[in-house]
Structure 1
Amino acid sequence: MVSEQESKQRLHLVFGGELKSLDTVDFKNLEGLDIVGIFPDYASALTAWRAKAQQTVDNAAMRYFIVHMHRLLEPDGH
């Protein structure tokens, strides 16, 4: 049997884009955001984030982020 804890999804969104300034998290072009995908766990999201970050290492203004969607969907932690 799968326990309730094991069956809970922990969705993570990986996305990125070019920032207006290195001092903010304001994107230059919202229509140009790169939505990498939604992943079932942090480990797979981190792998995708690392790959994208490595591909864009030459552009200092390009940033990728991991959003813990499960925290937004269930803010009380249940």
Structure 2
Amino acid sequence: MTKHKSAPDKQPQLLHLVFGGELKDLDSHEFRDLTSLDVIGIFPDYQSAYAAWKGAAQRSVDNAMIRYFIVHLHRLLEPNGLAALQRTTPSS
């Protein structure tokens, strides 16, 4: 069994969700069919989420009604942001 230790110099985990689907209208974020949403995945940082988003968006370039989005899950999980985390972390 592998034990995970948190290193003091390790960056905080910033989760991002990449998903998409066909929109009802190009001027909205309302999806035509919620049961057919394409969930690409959850990624540990913005850079890897962006790469996944870009790949999904390029695969659907022939259908203008399909849009993919990156959701910053870390902002939903920690609404006060990194400032709250930094206040609770002892400085070196």
**TM-score under structure 2 normalisation?**
0.79
Q: When the two structures are aligned, how many residues end up with a matched partner?
A: 77
Percentage of identical aligned residues: 60
Residue of structure 2 aligned with 1:35, choices 14, 36, 39: 39
SS of aligned partner of 1:54: helix
For the residues of structure 2 that align with 1:14 and 1:66, how far apart are their CA atoms? 5
Do residues 74 (structure 1) and 78 (structure 2) align? Answer: yes
Q: Aligned Cα RMSD in Å?
A: 1.4
For the residues of structure 2 that align with 1:24 and 1:32, how far apart are their CA atoms? 17
Structure 2, unaligned runs of 5 or more = 1-5, 86-92
**TM-score under structure 1 normalisation?**
0.93
Deviations 1:21-53 (Å, cap 9, x if unpaired)?
001110000000000000000000000000000
State the structure with bigger RCO (CA 8 A, min sep 6), 1 or 2.
Answer: 1
- The letter for the 1-side match of 2:32 is K
